[in-house]
C-alpha cells in the first residue's frame, strides 16, 4: 500500500510537470511571433532563470554548497552536458514552433518515451515491464495518428501564412494568396513505390494488402514535408530523452537539488546569452514590450518548475514512466493551439484518447510491479 501511495505521489509530480510544459509550449508559440531568432528567446528566458535561481541560492544560504558542487568533476560534467543539450533542444523547439502549427509540432514529443526505453536501459539500468513498454508504444502511436490525420490544406505553417517562408511573396500579395503548402511539395517526389504525389494516385495491385499502410506512410511523409517543424521536433524528442537520464544521474550525484538545477542553468544560459551579446544585440529591443517580457519570464520560470517537479517524480517512478506522464502535456498543448491560435484539431481529438489509454497501461504496469 505504501508503495502504491508513493507511486501516486510520483505521478502527481509528473503531471504537474506536464501542466507546466503545456503552458510553456503555448507561451513559446506566442513569443515566436514577437522575437525574431529562437536562440534569443532561449537566452532572455534563461537569464530570468539564472537570476531567480542565484537569488534562491543566496537567500537559502546554499552558496557554500554551490562552491563545493563546482569542485565535483562528475557533477559539473553532467550539469554541462544536460545544460548544453537543453540549450540546443530549446532553440530547435522554438524554431519548430516558428515553422509549424503547435498542434502538429508538439505531438512528436510523445516519441521521447520510445527513446527513453533505449537510453534508460544503458544509462541507468532501468528495465520497464512488458505492459509499461506497450503503454509507451501506444502513446507514441497516438501521437503518430494525430499527425497522420492532419489536413495539409488547413493546417498551414504560421511562417508561411505570414509570407515569411523562403521563396514566398509578402503576405497579402496575389502570389501569396494563390500559393499554399501543396505547392511546396515536388509533384514527382517518390520514395520507391510510395509516391508522395496526390493521394489519388493508387498503390500497385501487387501491394494491395499493404495499400492502407503505404497510404498512411505516404500521408505522414507529405505532412512532414509540409510542416518541417515536425521533423525538428522528432530530433528534439531524442535529445529530451537523453537529457532526462542525464538529469537523473545529476540528481543522484548532487547533494542538493536546487544547487544542481542552478548549476545546470548556468551552462544552459551561457552559450545563448553569449550569442545574443555578440551577434544579436538588436533582440534586446523586444524587451520594450511588457507582454513580451512577461511571456519570456514565464517561459523561463515554468521550465524550472517543470524540471523540479520532474526530478521529484523520479524519486518514486522510473524515468521512462515519468516522461510518459509528463508528455501528456501534448494533449493540453494541442487544445491550447485550438483555443489561443485557432488551429483546427477536431479530427485529431479521438487520438487523444489513444494516448490516455497508453497512460492507463503504464499506470497498471506500475501497480502490477508493486
Q: What is the DSSP string of 221-286?
A: HHHHHH-HHHHHHHHHHHHHHHHHHHHHHHHHH-S-HHHHHHHHHHHHHHHHHHHHHHH-GGGGGG
Q: Write down which residue in 226, 251, 284 finishes a domain.
A: 226
Does residue 284 sit in the same domain as residue 308?
A: yes
Q: Is residue 93 part of a domain?
A: yes
Same domain? For 180 and 191 the reply is no
Over residues 213-219, the mean pLDDT reads: 70
Whether 327 is covered by a domain: the verdict is yes
Q: Within a domain: residue 105?
A: yes
With a CB cutoff of 8 Å and minimum separation 6, the contacts of 212 are none
| Same-domain check for residues 202 and 247 | no
218 and 249 together in one domain: no
Co-location of 143 and 239 in the same domain: yes
Domain shared by 180 and 190, yes or no: no
Grid coordinates representing 67 are 562552491
Same domain, 61 and 200: no
Q: Looking at the structure, tell me whether residues 100 and 167 fall in a common domain.
A: no
Q: Is residue 180 part of a domain?
A: yes
Q: What is the pLDDT of residue 73?
A: 92
Give a yes or no: residue 74 inside a domain: yes
User: Looking at the domain assignment, is residue 328 inside a domain?
Assistant: yes
Residue at 34 is within a domain: yes
User: What is the pLDDT, as a whole number, of residue 69?
Assistant: 92
- Based on its alpha-carbon atoms, the radius of gyration of the chain, rounded to whole angstroms, reads 22
Nearest to 162 by CA among 216, 115, 99, 105: 99
Percentage, residues of the chain above pLDDT 70: 72
* Alpha carbons 72 and 83: distance in angstroms, whole number: 16
Burial profile 221-253: b = 16 or more Cβ within 10 angstroms, e = fewer = bbbbbbbbbbbbbebbbbbbbbbbbbbbbbbeb
43 and 126 part of one domain: yes
Domain count along the chain: 3
Give Cβ neighbours of residue 154 (< 8 Å, ≥ 6 apart).
344
pLDDT tens digits, one per residue of 81-103:
999 999 999 999 999 988 888 87
Which cell is 4 given? 502504491
Task: Please indicate, yes or no, whether residues 61 and 98 belong to a single structural domain of this protein.
Answer: yes
Residue linked to cell 509540409: 226
* Confidence bin at 276 (pLDDT 50/70/90): confident
Domain hosting 200: range is 186-226
Alpha helices in the chain (DSSP H): 2-32, 38-59, 63-70, 73-99, 102-105, 112-123, 130-148, 158-161, 174-178, 211-226, 228-253, 257-279, 290-313, 319-326, 329-341, 349-369
Pick from 240, 247, 211: nearest CA to 116: 240
Tell me which of 133 and 188 has the higher pLDDT.
133
Which has more confidence, 51 or 200? 51
Give how far Cα 299 sits from Cα of 41, 68, 231, 266, Å.
Answer: 9, 29, 23, 16
Where is 190: in which H helix or E strand? strand 190-191
| pLDDT for position 68 | 92
Query: Does 358 map to a domain?
Result: no
Query: Are 114 and 245 found together in one domain?
Result: yes
What is the per-residue pLDDT across 328-359, written as a single tens digit (0 to 9) for each?
787 788 888 888 888 877 776 777 778 778 76
The pLDDT tens digits for 22-67 are 999 999 988 888 887 888 888 889 999 999 999 999 999 999 999 9
Under DSSP, is residue 38 helix (H, G, I), strand (E, B) or coil? helix
The pLDDT of residue 303 is above 80:
yes
Question: pLDDT tens, 151-166?
Answer: 554 444 444 344 343 3
Mean pLDDT of the chain: 76
Q: Long-range contacts: 116-124, Cβ < 8 Å, 24+? A: 116/241, 116/244, 116/245, 116/319, 116/320, 116/323, 117/320, 118/241, 119/241, 119/242, 119/244, 119/245, 120/245, 120/318, 120/319, 120/320, 123/245, 123/246, 123/249, 124/245, 124/248, 124/249, 124/319
CA dist., res. 265 & res. 215, Å (int): 44
Same domain, 10 and 121: yes
Amino acid at each position: 500500500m505504501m508503495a502504491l501511495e508513493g507511486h501516486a505521489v510520483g505521478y502527481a509530480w509528473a503531471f504537474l510537470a506536464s501542466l507546466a510544459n503545456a503552458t510553456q509550449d503555448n507561451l513559446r508559440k506566442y513569443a515566436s511571433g514577437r522575437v525574431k531568432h529562437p536562440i534569443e528567446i532561449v537566452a532572455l528566458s534563461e537569464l530570468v532563470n539564472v537570476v531567480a535561481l542565484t537569488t534562491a541560492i543566496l537567500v537559502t544560504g546554499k552558496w557554500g554548497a554551490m562552491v563545493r558542487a563546482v569542485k565535483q568533476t562528475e557533477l559539473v560534467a553532467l550539469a554541462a552536458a544536460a545544460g548544453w543539450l537543453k540549450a540546443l533542444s530549446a532553440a530547435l523547439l522554438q524554431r519548430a514552433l516558428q515553422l509549424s502549427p503547435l498542434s502538429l509540432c508538439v505531438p512528436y514529443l510523445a516519441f521521447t518515451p520510445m527513446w527513453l526505453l533505449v537510453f534508460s536501459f544503458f544509462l541507468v539500468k532501468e528495465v520497464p515491464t512488458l505492459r509499461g513498454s506497450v503503454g509507451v508504444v501506444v502513446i507514441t502511436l497516438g501521437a503518430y495518428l494525430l499527425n497522420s490525420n492532419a489536413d495539409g490544406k488547413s493546417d498551414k505553417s504560421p511562417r508561411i501564412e505570414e509570407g515569411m517562408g523562403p521563396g514566398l511573396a509578402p503576405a497579402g500579395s496575389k502570389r501569396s494568396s494563390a500559393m499554399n503548402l501543396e505547392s511546396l511539395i515536388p509533384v514527382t517526389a517518390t520514395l520507391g513505390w510510395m509516391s508522395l504525389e496526390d493521394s489519388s494516385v493508387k498503390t500497385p495491385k501487387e501491394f494491395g494488402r499493404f495499400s492502407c499502410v503505404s497510404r498512411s506512410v505516404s500521408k505522414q511523409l507529405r505532412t512532414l514535408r509540409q510542416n518541417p517543424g515536425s521533423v525538428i521536433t522528432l530530433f528534439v524528442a531524442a535529445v529530451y530523452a537523453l537529457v532526462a537520464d542525464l538529469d537523473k544521474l545529476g540528481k543522484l550525484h548532487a547533494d542538493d537539488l536546487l544547487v544542481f538545477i542552478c548549476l545546470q542553468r548556468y551552462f544552459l544560459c551561457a552559450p545563448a546569452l553569449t550569442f545574443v551579446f555578440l551577434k544579436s544585440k538588436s533582440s534586446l529591443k523586444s524587451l520594450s514590450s511588457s507582454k513580451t517580457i512577461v511571456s519570456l519570464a514565464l517561459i523561463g520560470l515554468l521550465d524550472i518548475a517543470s524540471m523540479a517537479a520532474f526530478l521529484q517524480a523520479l524519486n518514486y517512478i522510473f524515468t521512462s514512466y515519468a516522461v510518459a506522464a509528463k508528455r501528456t502535456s501534448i494533449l493540453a498543448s494541442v487544445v491550447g493551439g485550438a483555443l489561443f491560435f485557432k488551429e483546427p484539431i477536431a479530427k485529431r481529438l479521438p487520438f487523444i484518447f489513444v494516448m490516455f489509454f497508453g497512460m492507463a497501461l503504464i499506470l497498471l504496469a506500475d501497480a502490477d510491479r508493486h
